Amino acid sequence: MTGVLTHDFPILLIDDEPSWLRSLGLLLERAGFTNLRKLSDGRKVRDILADEEIGIVLLDLMMPDIPGEELISVIREESPDTVIVVVSGMNQVSLAVQCMKMGANDYIVKTGAEERIVATVRNAVNLWELKRENRAIRSTISKAPSNPEAFSHIATANRYMISIFSYIESLASSRQPVLITGESGTGKELVARAIHRVCNPPGPMVAVNVAGLDDTIFSDTLFGHVRGAFTGADARRAGMVEKASGGTLFLDEIGDLSAPSQVKLLRLLQDGDYYPVGSDHSEKINARVVCSTHQDLTIKGKESKERRFRKDLFYRLQTHHIHMPPLRERKDDIPVLLDTFLAMAAEETGKKIPVYPPELPVLLATYHFPGNIRELKSMVFDAVARHGGGTLSMASFKEAMEGHAPHHPAAQAVSRQTDGNPFSGLDPLPTLADASSLLVMEAMDRAEGNQSIAARILGISQPALSKRMKQLREKQDE
Ligand SMILES: Nc1ncnc2c1ncn2[C@@H]1O[C@H](COP(=O)(O)OP(=O)(O)OP(=O)(O)O)[C@@H](O)[C@H]1O
- Residue 240 and residue 166 in one domain: yes
What integer is the mean pLDDT of 253-274? 92
Average pLDDT for 186-209: 96
Closest CA to 82 of 33, 45, 29: 45
Check which CATH number belongs to the domain holding 361 and give it: 1.10.8.60
Taking a C-beta distance cutoff of 8 angstroms, is the pair 434, 472 a contact? no
Average pLDDT for 128-148: 71
The CA 471 to ligand 1 mean position distance, Å, reads 45
Counts for the chain of helices (H) and strands (E), in that order: 19, 14
Q: Which atom of ligand 1 is nearest to the CA of 324?
A: 21
432-446 and 462-477 helices cross at what angle (nearest 10)? 120
CA 330 to centroid of ligand 1, rounded, Å: 14
* Most confident option among 61-70, 173-182, 245-254: 245-254
Look at residue 76 in the predicted model and tell me its pLDDT. 87
Regarding whether 91 and 17 lie in a shared domain, the answer is yes
pLDDT digits (tens, 9 = 90+) for 430-469: 788 778 888 888 888 777 778 888 888 888 888 888 888 8
186 occurs within a structural domain = yes
End-to-end CA distance of the chain: give it in Å, rounded: 78
Q: Which helix (H) or strand (E) holds 52?
A: none
What is the reported pLDDT for 185?
97
Q: Which of 292, 325, 358 is the C-terminal boundary of a domain?
A: 325
Whether residue 182 sits in one domain with residue 311 = yes
pLDDT band at 311 (very low <50, low <70, confident <90, very high): confident
Structure confidence at residue 133 as a pLDDT band (50, 70, 90):
confident
Contact 125, 132 (CB under 8 A): no
User: Looking at the structure, do residues 347 and 447 belong to the same domain, yes or no?
Assistant: no
Which of these ranges, 116-120, 196-200, 341-345, 347-351, has the smallest mean pLDDT? 116-120
Tell how far the Cα of 188 is from the centroid of ligand 1, in angstroms.
6
pLDDT tens digits along 199-218: 999 999 999 999 989 999 99
Q: Are 274 and 268 in contact (CB under 8 A)?
A: yes
Ligand 1 pocket, Cβ-based, cut-off 6 angstroms: 154-156, 182, 184-190, 252, 294, 340, 373-374, 377
Between 148 and 327, where is the model more confident?
A: 327
Confidence of residue 126 (pLDDT cuts 50, 70, 90): confident
Q: Evaluate whether residue 1 is within a structural domain.
A: no
With 80 as the cut, is the pLDDT of residue 369 above it?
yes
Q: What is the mean pLDDT of the chain?
A: 86
Mark whether 231 and 122 lie in a shared domain: no
Nearest of 291, 285, 201, 207 to residue 247 by alpha carbon = 201
Both 393 and 419 in one domain: the answer is no
Same-domain pairing of 241 and 365: no
- 2 within a domain of the structure (yes/no): no
91 and 16 part of one domain: yes
267-289 pLDDT, tens digit each: 999 889 999 999 999 999 999 99
In a domain, 6, yes or no: no
Mutate to test the pocket of ligand 1, among 153, 375, 377 (most ligand atoms within 8 A of CB): 377
Q: Which residue, judged by its Cα, is nearest atom 24 of ligand 1?
A: 184
Q: How far is the CA of 368 from the centre of ligand 1 (A)?
A: 16
Question: For residue 448, what are the contacts with CB-CB under 8 A and spacing of at least 6?
Answer: 359, 362
CA dihedral 443, 448, 451, 456 (to 10 degrees): -50
Atom 16 of ligand 1, nearest CA residue: 187
Q: For position 239, which CATH number holds?
A: 3.40.50.300
**C-alpha triplet 42, 46, 50: angle, nearest 5°:** 140
Looking only at the bridges linking them, the beta strands covering 248-252 and 205-209 are parallel
Q: What is the distance in A from the centroid of ligand 1 to the CA of 231?
A: 39
Give me the pLDDT at residue 421, please. Answer: 65
Read off the CATH number of the domain in which 33 is found: 3.40.50.2300
284 and 199 within one domain: yes
Which atom of ligand 1 approaches the CA of 209 most closely?
Answer: 27
Q: Stretch 364-390: mean pLDDT, rounded?
A: 94
423-to-427, 450, 457 alpha-carbon distances in Å: 8, 27, 19
Nearest atom in ligand 1 to the alpha carbon of residue 161 is 1
Domain contains 391: yes
Last residue of a domain, one of 325, 352, 382: 325
pLDDT at 446: 79
Domains in the chain: how many in total? 4
Determine the atom of ligand 1 nearest the C-alpha atom of 184: 25
Domain that holds residue 57: 11-139
Instruction: Let me know whether 156 and 296 are in one domain.
Output: yes
Which residue's alpha carbon is nearest to atom 29 within ligand 1?
Answer: 374
Q: Which of 115, 139, 163 is the last residue of a domain?
A: 139
Is residue 122 located within the same domain as residue 170? no
The answer to whether the beta carbons of residues 158 and 327 sit under 8 Å apart is: no
Within this chain, do residues 201 and 304 fall inside the same structural domain, yes or no?
yes
In a domain, 4, yes or no: no
CATH number where 435 lies: 1.10.10
- Per-residue confidence (pLDDT) for residue 139, from 0 to 100: 61
pLDDT of residue 277: 95
Q: How much is the pLDDT for 299?
A: 64
**Which atom, in ligand 1's list, is nearest to the CA of 190?**
18
In a domain, 67, yes or no: yes
* Residue 173 alpha carbon to ligand 1 centre in Å: 25
CA of 166 to the centre of ligand 1 (A): 19
Question: Within a domain: residue 154?
Answer: yes
